[in-house]
Amino acid sequence: MATRDYWIAPSILSADFARLGAEVDAVLAAGADVIHFDVMDNHYVPNLTVGPLVCEALRKYGVTAPIDAHLMVKPVDRIIPDFARAGASYITFHPEASEHIDRSLQLIRDCGCKSGLVFNPATPLHYLNHVMDKLDLVLLMAVNPGFGGQRFIEGTFAKLREARRLIDASGYPIRLEVDGGVKIDNIRAIAEVGADTFVAGSAIFNTPDYRATVAALRAELAKADA
């Protein structure tokens, strides 16, 4: 079978925030496809990171690559237009963080962005049932959200297979992203169950040579039997 169009999405959560623009430039120069931008509110998740100002600052700094804004924020609707104005390309949120999932998805698209739903390890995929036509991306968390550097939860493999089946059956061109604990030694197995977009924070930013690390991730993906 043909290999998929795989995207590597470094998570800025593990970057050096004092040098964020340079860090983003470095991972893009190293071959990354998308910048994964983790937004935490110390309410929906027990950590606090960055907001639309920092996304906008990256755009003003000159970053042109897609920015994948992963909103771990509740409630989420108020902040969606702000991220659109700040230059986010994808905006994703957790179904538990929205009282009206369909409305939030439409709001993202009305703002001109691509939309996605994020599933925590214990969140069932049935939230997809009636919104496939409003999705550009499905993101499965392989860790509980809030922190980088956690261990990949094995149950995510079966859930990815199920999500891949649902996406293929829908006929929509929806990307299947995985976030948390993705490393050189498991990315191939993750690709083989259907993921096409791979968030990697600590696996990239905690290494000295981003180019070598991204190349190693891609080499593993090249072996995947999609």
Q: Does 180 bind ligand DX5 (CB under 6 A)?
A: yes
Nearest to 139 by CA among 226, 214, 59, 36: 36
Candidates 51, 87, 95, 181: give the one binding ligand DX5 (CB under 6 A): 181
Give me the catalytic one of 33, 68, 179, 196. Answer: 179
179 in catalytic set: yes
Give me the catalytic one of 33, 38, 41, 68. Answer: 38
Tokens 């698209």 sit on residue: 109
Candidates 7, 34, 36, 210: give the one binding ligand DX5 (CB under 6 A): 36
Site for Zn ion in 34-73 (CB under 5 A): 38, 70
- Please state, in angstroms and rounded to a whole number, the distance separating the CA atoms of residues 149 and 97: 23
38 in catalytic set: yes
Choice between 179 and 196, CB closer to Zn ion: 179
Nearest to 170 by CA among 137, 122, 192: 137
For residue 92, the minimal CB distance to ligand DX5 (Å) is 10
Beta strands in the chain, from DSSP E residues, in sequence order = 7-10, 35-40, 67-72, 90-93, 114-119, 137-141, 175-179, 197-200
Residue 84's binding partner, choosing from Zn ion, ligand DX5, none, with beta-carbon cut-off 5 to 8 A by kind? Answer: none
Residue 126's CB is within 10 A of a number of other CB atoms, namely 9
Q: Choose one: 27-35, 85-93, 119-127, 148-156; the region binding ligand DX5 (CB under 6 A).
A: 148-156
Candidates 32, 41, 63, 70: give the one binding ligand DX5 (CB under 6 A): 70
Question: How far, rounded to the nearest angstrom, does the alpha carbon of residue 62 sit from its chain's CA centroid?
Answer: 21
Q: Which residues are catalytic?
A: 38, 179
Residues that bind ligand DX5 (CB under 6 A): 11, 13-14, 36, 38, 70, 143, 145-146, 148-150, 179-182, 199-203
